[in-house]
Amino acid sequence: MPRRSRRRGVADPSPSTPPRPPAGSVEEIGVPKPEPAPTAEPPPVLTVAGEFRTASAALVFAGGLADLGNAECGHCAATGAWWVATSMTLAIARELIAAAGGRIHVEVDGRLVPDRGWGDGPPTGPPPQDPPEIVGVDVLEVVRTAGLHPHALPIGEHVTVLAPARRVTALAQRALDLELTIHTRLLRLDPLFADDDADPPSMFELRLASPSGPLPAALLAALDRDVCVLVCRRVSDHLLVQHDVASPLPDGQLAALAAREAGAGAWLLADVGFGSARLTPLTDLRDGAAFVRLSDRHRLPELDDGWARIARSTSEPEPAPLRLVRARTPDAVVEAVLLDDDDLACLPALLAGRPLADLAMLATGRDRHLMLAPGGVLERLPVGEPLYRLGPGPLFLPLGTRTQPLLPPTARRALFPTTSDTALVLQPDRIEAFPLAHREPVWALWAGPLPPVDLQLPREGRRALAEVDAQTTPARTAKPRSTVARLGDRLAERVRGPAPDRPRTWQNEALAAELADDLVRAAELCERNGELRRAAHLYERAAHQPTHPPTAR
């Protein structure tokens, strides 16, 4: 029920101005206190009706309503006017109806009275003497009367085409040529506004979609020129509208109306060239590629024999062989150098007089040789192949390579059982092993045998020593060995190899500790002997050693 406005002089218990205090009081000369804002009452909701000269104008007003279900449409045969009635506040109704070019009426006591144009309440004047006779009509009838107007939209990624059966194959072929996806189904087209049709036609619905951007404009233009097909835009699952026209009722309102009225089918709205229809699907959607036909020469063959052979040949996946591949090794440093005989001949000229000569050790092999140093060689020599240590143990790889597949330390330990006495160098086609027990300082390459030592003792000293020697040494009874026997001794020594007891130097100890993965001890030896760079490198390696127990700070 509409409420009465306060402007009409109805007594209102909440005054708009605060009561004046008594004259001479303190509050009168003080700062006035802010009064709480009076609560504004919402404007009353009335039943209003718009009178429009055309159905199109009526739909423009109806399109502005939030819910078309609350509106009722009517038609006055005498005046030819179209009416739309709904419930809303008077101020909003005035704006919407005026925008659509209509006249506003307000319901008062069950009768429509023309609005006076101001105020929130209904008019209070007498009702018109000769009220119009309005007959209620369906919204769809208003839509039909309003018709469709041209409406240009940008080309989208989807379009729906209604086509007869004889055009479907060509259309599908063309769409596939343009790399569009296409789905089709068969529809029955019943009249939308009439009640029944004895023999409704059926057409194919083709849904074209472009997976990469808008559809080709040339395709749409060609389809437009074809009088046997209709290009539509799919507003919703229940509404198709011809693609270049629109109803005065917005698409959203139309789609809601169609969803309410069309049931399981859909509506088609198109202009006089094609007409509107009620669509009922007869088949399910299927891929349009089914319309591409092959000749009978494309028979399906039996299982190829090759597959069966392959399946029988291996029952388990075969692990890939370990390979050496090129890879960036920016953090690797030269820890050893692999040399051949020619490189070995150059080493004296390269290393004589350099600090590395004091540290480097050489494990000589048949035709390849390995140069090592405690803490690494750490220099790029112009000869040989630089190696870095992959570990664990003395396992080396050429710089710029890695294993394929990558191996964790446990796998490397299992695959390459290195010891501190044997160094392994991985090459693309082989693994070279170098016994380290017979390593020699690299300076032995150019430091040849010394000349004989001539002991210069004074005569008295020699005599005294001879007397002591005669008294302490028993007389020799064994015969001197023959030349052949001495040669045999040399051969036996060569077979046995040189004695493994090397001179006890810090370099040897450091290298032995490093080969035994005792990197901290090797680093400490290097640090103690002033080889700070090697010591730092060994400390770093020790810090990153996975099995190394954490050291207290």
- Do you find a cis peptide bond into 32, omega within 30 degrees of 0? no
Binding status of residue 344 toward other proteins by CB under 8 A: no
Binding status of residue 473 toward other proteins by CB under 8 A: no
Chain centroid to CA 453? 79
In the bound state with other proteins, the residue whose beta carbon lies nearer, of 246 and 523, is 523
Binding status of residue 356 toward other proteins by CB under 8 A: no
Binding status of residue 474 toward other proteins by CB under 8 A: no
CA distance 466 to 326: 69
Coil, strand, or helix at residue 403?
Answer: strand
Strand order of the β-sheet with 440-441 is: 431-435, 422-426, 395-398, 385-389, 336-340, 368-372, 361-364, 440-441
Sites for other proteins among residues 159-218 (CB under 8 A): none
Work out the angle between the directed axes of helices 55-63 and 90-99 (0-180°, nearest 10). Answer: 140
98 phi, psi to nearest 5 deg = -65, -40
Binding status of residue 532 toward other proteins by CB under 8 A: yes
- Do you find a cis peptide bond into 405, omega within 30 degrees of 0? yes
CA distance 130 to 246: 37
CB of 541 to other proteins, least distance (A): 9
Chain centroid to CA 518? 45
Binding status of residue 544 toward other proteins by CB under 8 A: yes
Per-position x/- string for 491-520, each x denoting binding to other proteins as judged by CB under 8 A, each - no binding: -----------------------------x
CB of 413 to other proteins, least distance (A): 16
Residue 56 burial by CB count (10 A; 0-12/13-18/19+): exposed, middle or buried? Answer: buried
CB of 550 to other proteins, least distance (A): 5
**Of 235-243, 427-435, 489-497, 531-539: span binding other proteins (CB under 8 A):** 531-539
Q: Determine how β-strand 149-150 pairs with β-strand 103-108.
A: unpaired
CB of 337 to other proteins, least distance (A): 22
CA distance 407 to 427: 16
CB of 404 to other proteins, least distance (A): 20
CB of 543 to other proteins, least distance (A): 4
CA distance 254 to 275: 17
Sites for other proteins among residues 231-290 (CB under 8 A): none
- Do you find a cis peptide bond into 355, omega within 30 degrees of 0? no
CB of 353 to other proteins, least distance (A): 21
In the bound state with other proteins, the residue whose beta carbon lies nearer, of 480 and 550, is 550
Binding status of residue 533 toward other proteins by CB under 8 A: yes
Binding status of residue 523 toward other proteins by CB under 8 A: yes
Tell me the residue type at 52: F
- Specify which residues 324 forms β-bridges with: 403
Binding status of residue 434 toward other proteins by CB under 8 A: no
Contact 241, 235 (CB under 8 A): yes
Binding status of residue 407 toward other proteins by CB under 8 A: no
Give the total of residues touching other proteins (CB under 8 A). Answer: 19
**From 17, 295, 313, 551, residue interacting with other proteins (rule: CB under 8 A):** 551
**From 98, 527, 528, 529, residue interacting with other proteins (rule: CB under 8 A):** 527
CB of 152 to other proteins, least distance (A): 48
Binding status of residue 543 toward other proteins by CB under 8 A: yes
Give the helix/strand (H/E) hosting 462.
helix 459-472
Binding status of residue 330 toward other proteins by CB under 8 A: no
Binding status of residue 380 toward other proteins by CB under 8 A: no
Binding status of residue 540 toward other proteins by CB under 8 A: yes
**Of 170-178, 188-196, 235-243, 526-534: span binding other proteins (CB under 8 A):** 526-534
Coil, strand, or helix at residue 92?
Answer: helix
Q: Determine how β-strand 202-209 pairs with β-strand 181-191.
A: antiparallel
Binding status of residue 379 toward other proteins by CB under 8 A: no
In the bound state with other proteins, the residue whose beta carbon lies nearer, of 287 and 540, is 540
Q: Which residue has the tokens 């692999």?
A: 338
| Site residues (vs other proteins, CB under 8 A) | 520, 523, 527, 532-533, 535-537, 539-540, 542-544, 546, 548, 550-553
